[in-house]
Amino acid sequence: MRRFILILCFSFLTLFIVACSGEKTGNEKSGSDSDEGWSPEKSIEFVAPSGAGGGWDTTARMAAKVFNEEGIIDQDIGVVNKTGGGGAVGWAYVAGKAGNPHHLFVASPPLIDVPLNGQSEYDHEDFTAIANLIADYGAFVVRADSEWEDLNDLFEDMKADPSSITVIGSSSPGSMDHIQFVKVAKAAGVDIQKIKYVSEQDGGELTALLNGSVDVFSTGVAETVQQVRAGKVKVLAVTSEERLEGEVISDYPTVKEQGIDSSFVNWRGFFGPSDMDEEAVQYYVEKFKELSDSEAWSDIRQQYGWDEMFMSGEEYETFLNEQREEAKQLLDELGLGK
């Protein structure tokens, strides 16, 4: 009898251990642990709502690279490009992933500008703001042989006859390249309603500038370095508050040092679809903060002339809402608001 009881107890103990083991295995499979919170169950997708080589694409690919190489995120991260509509195609794609925490996208001012001018049904409030990572800046570029030596030279001619000078950018009218130029021109006293802006979204902006089809190229700082080195263009101004650090770009004068009280920040961060679980949001916030603080990401920032600009949570939401109000005022003045 004693032996029978011992065997019975041993059997119950074995079943209990197996049951506990199975419960643990189930948690590991789901990618979650009650003590550690949420973590990704499968590979993660970063969406760049543009073609290869632009600011969104570069930011997404560099972030994925550092996340993986530094072991900050264990899961594989793939980057996909969703082009069209100035970002609207990519936003629509992510909007269809509601509640799925394995799809994030990189965004910047067009996520605010494009919906405001009626070219997208989605704006930043239709997504989950995760974290902002960097600040990039605009640059106003002319041919190396241009008669304009600084921004004031350009704006004096624009005040006299705004429509005689053509400005080109990669963004659609009412989006970032347009808005950054208009904001600075307004502060300088130019009639912004008469500025002639053309959009070239197929990569022909520099060609148009160099062949004389247009006069000024409104772009990002990183897009200027190679052509300045080659002696083909000169940068009249950048939109940062202070001079940037780095080879070549440290020579670019700011708008403010030329006596024009204006600046423009091309913030760039990551968003997820709507209805993300709060634990998943917190997971990504912590990972992006770790990325932002890493030496590897500091090297990337220096390479591309980006400044550190980490924000998350309520601070990020407040910033985005303020950016929308500012953009709305400019678009309404231009007659481009919806």
Q: Are strands 44-48 and 77-81 parallel, antiparallel or unpaired?
A: parallel
Contact 196, 162 (CB under 8 A): yes
In-domain check, residue 19: no
Residues 232, 158: one domain? yes
| 250-285 per-position pLDDT tens digit | 999 999 999 999 999 999 999 999 999 999 999 999
Do the domain assignments include residue 24?
no
Res 299: pLDDT: 94
Q: What is the pLDDT of residues 58-112, one digit of tens each?
A: 999 999 999 999 999 999 999 999 998 889 999 999 999 999 999 999 999 999 9
pLDDT value at 1 more than 60: no
Domain that holds residue 217: 137-265
- Amino acid 314: pLDDT: 96
Same domain, 147 and 82: no
**Looking at the structure, do residues 298 and 247 belong to the same domain, yes or no?**
no
- pLDDT tens for 190-204 read 999 999 999 987 778
Same domain, 185 and 220: yes
Which CATH number do you get for residue 164? 3.40.190.10
- Positive or negative: CA dihedral 69, 72, 76, 79: negative
Higher pLDDT, 118 or 8: 118
Q: Does residue 81 sit in the same domain as residue 125?
A: yes
Nearest to 58 by CA among 77, 75, 72, 79: 79
Do 112 and 174 lie in a common domain? no
Q: What's the mean pLDDT in 2-14?
A: 43
pLDDT, average across residues 154-179: 93
* C-alpha angle 284-290-295 in degrees, rounded to nearest 5: 145
